[in-house]
Amino acid sequence: MQTNDSDHLAEPGAPQAAPLIVHLIHQLGVGGMENGLINLINHMPPERYRHVIVCLKNDAPFQHRLKRAGVEVICVNKREGKDWGHYLRLFQVLKRLHPDLIHTRNLASLEGQLLAAAAGVRLRIHGEHGRDLSDLQGQNPRYKLLRKVLRPLIGHFIAVSKDLEQWLIGTIGARPARVTHIGNGVDSLQFHPRLGPPAAVGPPGFLCEDAFVIGSVGRMAPIKDHQALIQAFRLLLEEEAEGYSRLRLMIIGDGPCREPCLDLLAQAGMASLAWLPGARDDVPQLLRAMDVFVLPSLSEGSSNAILEAMATGLPVVATAVGGNLDLVQPSWTGTLVPPGAPEPLADAIADYFRIPGLAQRHGGRARRLVLSDYSLLAMADAYLAVYDALSAPPVPRSR
């Protein structure tokens, strides 16, 4: 639905329209940040705020997951490299929409804060959801300078992990009162433990009767380091007596590293023991076929994939980076290992394979933790509180 400036002008005596929020992102592709944005819009009270998603690039496979009617998705068609024209197009979109609030996310959309200020958008929020492979510690001098220069334009920051919250305050110089940590939420009704034997997945004959399935879900990009998981899988096959007969590997997702991972499996003679089908729409069902969930990322914000696995009742083996430390409780709901280290990763997975009942105990606790602390409604309420606080009229000083 196309929005015109006139849509924001109420007739005399007519109810005033709800405030409009523009969510500016790089693209609405498959990813944790994008999934979190869709979940947020779907679970916010529709009468409180209206929403428009503005994408810098034209890629929106997640658009079909929007359940709320009337949410416009606009693309300014940024070309690869430095496209000066997209700044003008974005400015024109913001002037036309005349939103009450803009919410940018991550470095790719940060420059939109300057254009929003120039377009007269009074309320401005920026969210940090994770770092890129080229700047794992957030110390790139050029990017730090950009964030510090634009910091005064931002009314409030949202960090999805405690690590990012501390970095915004300590490195970027944001005032603590202007930074809020809001973790992601998960749909615990859609993602739930399996009842009975696992569903048949993979090619015919992939799963044997007593298969132990090591699984991972996520974008297959270098920062996710799925090659380390494949190396750990090879170590397990070599070390475990029943490795070749029972161990199976399932990696769900697509991206530039999928083909190299398939080549690595073929070269090691493990192709028949692994299934890498690419992106899928039946992730909840596939998670219920796993016995342990593994996230070998080199950097992470607040992982939706970990939360979905926990909601499914799976123990989680993850690298001790970023928001993973907030989600995984070692020796209680899962195990944390160093990044880029296949040997400790293999050892952690082996514990769940060798020790009877350990996966069920850790997975059950993980499910209970999700139910108590990581609901979608709690996440939406936390964002709503930030939006409301920023939108509230200033309290006049007493004389």
DSSP string, 247-285: EEEEEE--STTHHHHHHHHHHTT-GGGEEEEES-S-HHH
Q: Are residues 221 and 331 in the same domain?
A: yes
Report if residue 60 sits inside a domain. Answer: yes
Report if residue 202 sits inside a domain. Answer: no
Report if residue 199 sits inside a domain. Answer: no
Q: Is the pLDDT of residue 341 over 60?
A: yes
Q: Are residues 263 and 153 in the same domain?
A: no
Query: CATH number of the domain that 28 lies in?
Result: 3.40.50.2000
Per-residue confidence (pLDDT) for residue 64, from 0 to 100: 79
Q: Half-sphere exposure of residue 34, counting CA atoms within 13 Å on the CB side?
A: 21
Q: Are residues 155 and 29 in the same domain?
A: yes
Q: Are residues 380 and 344 in the same domain?
A: no
Q: How does pLDDT run across 155-166, given as a tens digit for each residue? A: 999 999 999 999
Q: Helix count (H) and strand count (E) of the chain?
A: 14, 13
Calculate mean pLDDT across residues 19-42.
92
Q: Is the pLDDT of residue 7 over 70?
A: no
Strand intervals (E) in the chain: 20-25, 50-55, 72-75, 101-105, 123-128, 156-159, 179-181, 212-217, 247-252, 274-278, 292-295, 316-319, 334-337
Q: Is the pLDDT of residue 82 over 90?
A: no
Q: Are residues 129 and 240 in the same domain?
A: no
Per-residue confidence (pLDDT) for residue 4, from 0 to 100: 37
- Cβ distance 25 to 33 under 8 Å? yes
Per-residue confidence (pLDDT) for residue 15, from 0 to 100: 55
Indicate the pLDDT class of residue 14, thresholds 50, 70 and 90. Answer: very low
The residue count of the chain comes to 399
DSSP annotation string for 80-134: SS--THHHHHHHHHHHHH--SEEEEETGGGTTHHHHHHHTT--EEEEEE----GG
Per-residue confidence (pLDDT) for residue 216, from 0 to 100: 98
Q: How does pLDDT run across 140-150, given as a tens digit for each residue? A: 999 999 999 99
Q: How does pLDDT run across 105-141, given as a tens digit for each residue? A: 999 999 999 999 999 999 999 999 998 878 888 899 9
Determine phi and psi for 24, rounding to 5 degrees: -100, 120
Tokens of 62: 């997640």
- Number of structural domains the chain divides into: 2
Report d(CA 305, CA 284) in Å as an integer: 11
Determine phi and psi for 332, rounding to 5 degrees: -130, -50
Mean pLDDT, the chain, integer: 92
Q: Are residues 365 and 386 in the same domain?
A: no
Report d(CA 332, CA 315) in Å as an integer: 9
- Cβ distance 158 to 360 under 8 Å? no
Report if residue 322 sits inside a domain. Answer: yes
Report d(CA 247, CA 216) in Å as an integer: 14
Q: Are residues 151 and 276 in the same domain?
A: no
Q: Is the pLDDT of residue 46 over 80?
A: yes
Per-residue confidence (pLDDT) for residue 134, from 0 to 100: 83
Report if residue 201 sits inside a domain. Answer: no
Report d(CA 62, CA 379) in Å as an integer: 20
Indicate the pLDDT class of residue 32, thresholds 50, 70 and 90. Answer: confident
Q: Is the pLDDT of residue 10 over 90?
A: no
Report if residue 68 sits inside a domain. Answer: yes
- Of the listed ranges 15-19, 87-91, 277-281, 311-315, the least confidently predicted one is 15-19
Question: Among all chains, which residue has been given the structure tokens 């920051």?
Answer: 157
- Cβ distance 250 to 201 under 8 Å? yes
Q: What SS3 state is found at 21?
A: strand
Q: What SS3 state is found at 390?
A: helix
Determine phi and psi for 3, rounding to 5 degrees: -105, 135
Report if residue 241 sits inside a domain. Answer: yes
Question: Among all chains, which residue has been given the structure tokens 């913001």?
Answer: 94
Calculate mean pLDDT across residues 21-44.
91
Q: Are residues 170 and 235 in the same domain?
A: no
Q: Is the pLDDT of residue 5 over 60?
A: no
Per-residue confidence (pLDDT) for residue 398, from 0 to 100: 62
Indicate the pLDDT class of residue 205, thresholds 50, 70 and 90. Answer: confident
Q: Which residue in 52, 80, 76, 78 sits closest to 66, CA to CA?
A: 52
Q: Which residue in 361, 337, 366, 365 sits closest to 349, CA to CA?
A: 337
Q: Are residues 30 and 143 in the same domain?
A: yes
Q: Are residues 149 and 58 in the same domain?
A: yes
Report d(CA 41, CA 185) in Å as an integer: 12
What is the dihedral sign for C-alpha 149, 179, 115, 134?
A: positive
Indicate the pLDDT class of residue 60, thresholds 50, 70 and 90. Answer: low
Q: Is the pLDDT of residue 13 over 60?
A: no
Q: Are residues 218 and 342 in the same domain?
A: yes
* Bigger pLDDT: 3 vs 67: 67
- Helix then strand then coil, in percent of the chain rounded to 5, is 45, 15, 40
Report d(CA 263, CA 143) in Å as an integer: 35
Q: Is the pLDDT of residue 29 over 90?
A: no
Per-residue confidence (pLDDT) for residue 39, from 0 to 100: 93
Calculate mean pLDDT across residues 6-32.
72
Per-residue confidence (pLDDT) for residue 2, from 0 to 100: 37
Indicate the pLDDT class of residue 3, thresholds 50, 70 and 90. Answer: very low
Q: Which residue in 22, 18, 31, 231 sits closest to 116, CA to CA?
A: 22
Contacts of residue 355, defined as CB under 8 A and 6 or more positions apart, other chains included, come to none
Q: How does pLDDT run across 241-262, given as a tens digit for each residue? A: 999 999 999 999 999 999 999 9
Tokens of 131: 């770092």
Total-model pTM: 0.88
Q: Are residues 369 and 384 in the same domain?
A: no
Report d(CA 137, CA 83) in Å as an integer: 27
Calculate mean pLDDT across residues 76-87.
91
Domain residue limits at 120: 5-185+376-391
Report if residue 166 sits inside a domain. Answer: yes
- Of the listed ranges 111-125, 199-213, 340-354, the least confidently predicted one is 199-213
